[in-house]
Amino acid sequence: MSDSTLYDIVELGDPRLRVLALPVDLTRLQEALEVVQAMESRMQERGGVGIAAPQIGVGQQIMIIASKPNARYPDAPHMKPMVMFNPVPFNYSDHKVTLWEGCLSVPGIRGKVTRSDSVSVRYADNTGKLQEIRLDGFPARIFLHEYDHLVGKTFVDRVDSVTDLVTDKVYFKQMSTSVS
């Protein structure tokens, strides 16, 4: 199963996106790292800044955060991709920010989502070592977005109203006219 061609992005409506992901058995880390390779491949193919294992149909607590500027997020900070196994968020900031989000599993749609602007996370890294980190700004948003996938949610569940959903076409048109 190490061939990443066996995995494809699971899209909204697929029941695998609504299942609670199971913890990774860190004594079998090599198998989980094969899933990570498939995740990285799909994320890069689609120009994503993060991905969670349920998005490729794998019900395990694995995510990658990989903030970088691109067409979808031109102002994103650049960071080295971070693999997280069994992440546990804590210490959410009281300061909330509402921004547009998209998702590899919800192609062509964006939504306004309010999230904490920072969060602390405990997780195991790609060597199985336990780590703790504080994420701020866009990386915190990516983490919280990907964590939602581990608990069976998508950003669509987080919008306040259906009026906060738009197609990518409308979003990019509005962005280009607001810059002019």
| Active-site residue set | 146
Per-position DSSP letters for the chain, written without gaps between them? ---GGG-----TT-GGGGSPPBPP-GGGHHHHHHHHHHHHHHHHHHT-SEEEGGGGT--BSEEEE-----SS-TTPPP---EEEEEEEEE---S-EEEEEEEETTEEEEEEEEEEESEEEEEEE-TTS-EEEEEEEHHHHHHHHHHHHHHTT--GGGG-S-GGGEEEHHHHHHHHHHHH-
Task: Count Cβ atoms below 10 Å from residue 19 Cβ, excluding itself.
Answer: 14
Compute the Cα dihedral for 157, 158, 160, 165 and give only its sign: negative
